[in-house]
Chains A and B, each alone.
Chain A
Amino acid sequence: MVEAITSPKQDYNLKPFFWTPLRDAKTVRYRQEVFQDLENEPVMECIKAFAEGMSMVRRYLAMMEKLDFDYHRKGWFLEAVLVYCDAVATLARHLDGLPLSSRGLSAFREYLVHYVQSPVYRSLATEGQQVKSALAEIKYCVIIESGKFKVKRYEIEVDYSLEVETAFKKFKQSDAEDYLVRLPERAGMSHIEAKILEFVARLYPEPLAALDRFCTEYNRFLDETIRTFDREIQFYVVYLDFIADLKRQGLPFCYPQVSATSKAVYVRGGFDLALAHAWRYDEKAIVLNDFSLKDPERILVVTGPNQGGKTTFARLFGQLHYLASLGCPVPGREAGLFLADHVFTHFERIEDIRNLRGKLEDDLVRMRDALIHATADSIFILNEIFSSTTVQDALFLSKEIMARLMDSDILGVWVTFLDELASLSEKTVSMVALVDPDDPVRRTFKITRKPADGLAYALSLARKQRLTYGQIKERLS
């Protein structure tokens, strides 16, 4: 998902932001405020316009490095400065009239207002403009002969095409065909054009000398804070862009209550963001699920038929907590979430030939490592652990681990086929993946809080086909 979120803006190197969850509720709220400001369309628009300007600046500066001719390089440097000044001034002007409630954006706006009034910025902008307009006033002539050319000042020579047009207009009986060849815009500079530019510099020394001075003086013109802002704000932009489509489809997002202390967590109308993203072009409806854990409840034990949405539910639990800890709006109608120090997950993996361990052993090793590092503030998400052993062994091992988790007061989800785990203690809450009561084969993908009734999916299928033990016996008798 991080890949999908950050891939549209790769040059900002945004992944580290998404790999660094926060534990501090204050910081999370600080980010949530910024997100909320950016959900205001005009704010988002002016940030995006600014980002486009800045990315053009970076492109010009990067391109400049590769150019061969001095005045060509300096010309592009000047363009970069002009675009930068314009982007900054436009952003300052636009943000000025917009209501901002986040501390983050308000503070930046204040900084920006000061910056555009500072002598540093103002001289950069005005001198840049002056140099540019002096250059724009240069007009020269190139006289092309075969194998050679001459360069001289422009001396009010008249546009020849116009003359021809006027001269022959009188013969016009009807509109003539269009013979204008549209040559593609030429970019870059060859040694010929560089030579022409060199002659131009000799013909008009003053404007180009001014360009020289400008480039030396404003060599490092990018403001560090603005540069940082430009990158950091993209963290918010990419995430909002990522969820924009889903929001349009009517899927709910909300800003969760977060706490680093209270483990009473709940979600109403939550869904799996990765699944919703994968299905964004499909007609399939995303099922929304709820859960809530009140003290002393800590662990959701999910049972139910295969393919009933248990894994998705487990992922949703971890995902919501993780996204909340980044400060992002989470996929759900309403949520209160815990800021964990670490989310430990155990999902079934492809067996790895290299570790030379059996599946059970592998499960045990991974659990041991996780338990060594876990603290009371960790979250565990276990999906079908010990499925490769007998029911008795699995039950024994699971109970052992459950005891450890409960001892440490750890928050988590446990997807299992062992109904017994659901009612181990007051800390566990049983959730069941529902099937349609009228048609047990149809799953509803709804996970509801209710006692594990042991009605496994296979049995429900069997009943539908009238092949349960009772039914078969009845038929045979």
Chain B
Amino acid sequence: MMRVFLLYPDQDFDPSVPLPPMDDLTQDLFLNILFQAMAQGDRFLFQVTRQVVLSPLDEITPVIYRQDILKDCLKHPDVVRQIYQIPLEFLDRKRKRWLWVSPRHSTPTSILNSARELLEASLDLLRQLRLIADQNVNAFESQGFRRFFTMIQRELDDEYLALVERHVQQLRFPQGVLLSAQPGRGNEGSGYVLCCPNDADRNWLQRLFTSRSPTYSYTLHPRDDAGARVLEELRNRGLARAANAVAQAAEHIESFFTVLQRELAFYIGCLNLYEQLMALGEPVAFPQPVPVNQRRFSCTGLYDFTLALTLGTPVVGNDISANGKSLVIVTGPNRGGKTVFLRSVGLAQLMMQCGMFVPAESFLANLATGLFTHFKREEDKTMESGKFEEELKRTVS
């Protein structure tokens, strides 16, 4: 089976799961700056990274799984971007060539033709994917990518690619549409089934037996419109099931490309962010997650990268060691960087929990099952509640 599994070791990322309300978190941690930095103006990337970042993991294994994949991505950014181009190219062709599977109410012939064109458009992209897998299976180290490449090599082997090509050819029916049928009630033809013409390379024994049977042929009078209609109808009758199969096949291929595009989009976003931080000369580190039930928190050089990105210069980092503590109280003069520090902690925690690198020289913390923030806000403009009441409300929710 062709499963992508680049976000989880054993399942697809489900984009339809509704996110919990995280407006406060997004606002307090300036998450939109993070999403914009990852998306670089691409709406699809923005949407996917937002979805993934706002669905944090709370177990070590999947976090490490993503970290490993991300490390491979940082090492081979060009290869990963190349793979990401493949589903993009497919969707692009689909849009440019007006390829879509005709809906149910059209004739089987037109469903089949439209679906076949879509299959045809995917053929060289599948070959390309296979080539990338062949070239890189040994260079990548993560379990996720190795599994992905091996799966591509196994499922899209030469034999299979040749088979797909043969189907694409055969579905043009160069030798006519071959239907098998039986006399039904009243000797009316029934049970029309589209068949594959027997290969010429069948063994000689079979050919010896079959070649004796005669073939009768009939050519319609050029003006026999009624006859042509009947013939067309028989053809459609025979093609109905095959059209369904081909259309579903085209849909399966498209769905594979869609999943691939979605799961890679997250890593592309990470790459984008990484490249921007590198350009600023800021460090990043892969954090060390600790199980939820422990109280660990220590870091060196932890900085608020939203500030760095906004200012366009490196910012001051902080070192903390608070292992075994469950509460840290920050005090100090106004405009001393307390809020910025708080935000850098929140961002690093969230990024760790979705498998990303963090803006620090090193970072170690326990995973958490929830992340809640309470930052100062402007007074409620609707004037419905006072400042204090508003703060209480936010705390409760």
Contacts and interface: CB of A to CB of B under 8 A. Distances in A.
A19 interface: no
Contacts of B250: 168
B249 A181 contact: no
A158 B198 CA distance: 8
Interface string B193-219: 111111000000000001001111111
A475 interface: no
Contacts of A150: 176, 215-218
Contacts of A71: 187
B175 interface: yes
Nearest to B252: A171
A157 interface: yes
Contact of B188 (A72, A139, A143, A173): A72
Say which size band chain B's interface belongs to: 35 or more
Interface string A234-272: 000000000000000000000000000000000000000
Nearest to B256: A171
Given A76-B186, A173-B252, A186-B237, A148 B220 contact: yes
Interface stretch (B79-87, B221-229, B371-379): B221-229
B186 A193 contact: no
B177 A144 contact: yes
A183 B240 contact: yes
Contacts of A163: 167, 196
Given A75-B186, A75-B187, A151-B215, A183 B236 contact: yes
Contact of A179 (B2, B104, B181): B104
Say which size band chain A's interface belongs to: 35 or more
Most chain B CB neighbours (cut-off 10 Å) among A75, A143, A179, A192: A179
B192 to A, nearest CB: 8
A70 B378 CA distance: 92
B59 interface: no
B195 A179 contact: no
A227 B107 CA distance: 46
A284 interface: no
B251 A176 contact: yes
Interface in A182-224: 182-183, 186-193, 195-197, 199-200, 202-203
B220 A155 contact: no
Contacts of B185: 75-76, 79
A117 B69 CA distance: 81
A117 B4 CA distance: 69
A170 interface: yes
B195 A168 contact: no
Contact of A144 (B234, B241, B244, B248): B234
A129 to B, nearest CB: 14
B196 A160 contact: yes
A169 interface: yes
A160 B242 contact: yes
Contact of B219 (A148, A173, A174, A181): A148
Given A142-B234, A178-B244, A181-B243, A72 B214 contact: no
A181 B112 CA distance: 11
A11 interface: no
A203 B236 contact: no
A187 B244 contact: no
A180 B196 contact: no
A149 to B, nearest CB: 6
B175 A143 contact: yes
Interface in A126-177: 135-136, 138-145, 147-165, 167-174, 176-177
Across chains A and B, which 7 residue pairs bring their CB atoms closest together, nearest first?
A: A168-B249, A75-B187, A157-B195, A171-B252, A179-B247, A145-B176, A75-B186
Given A147-B219, A172-B2, A181-B236, 14 more contacts: A76-B185, A139-B182, A143-B175, A143-B177, A144-B177, A149-B218, A155-B210, A158-B195, A160-B196, A164-B171, A168-B252, A179-B111, A179-B247, A193-B188
11 contacts: A72-B188, A142-B234, A159-B194, A176-B251, A179-B248, A189-B186, A192-B220, A197-B189, A199-B218, A202-B214, A203-B214
Interface of B: 1-3, 12, 101, 104-108, 111, 115, 119, 155, 163-164, 167, 170-171, 175-183, 185-189, 193-198, 210, 213-220, 222, 226-228, 230-231, 233-238, 240-253, 255-256, 258-259
Interface of A: 71-72, 74-76, 79, 135-136, 138-145, 147-165, 167-174, 176-183, 186-193, 195-197, 199-200, 202-203
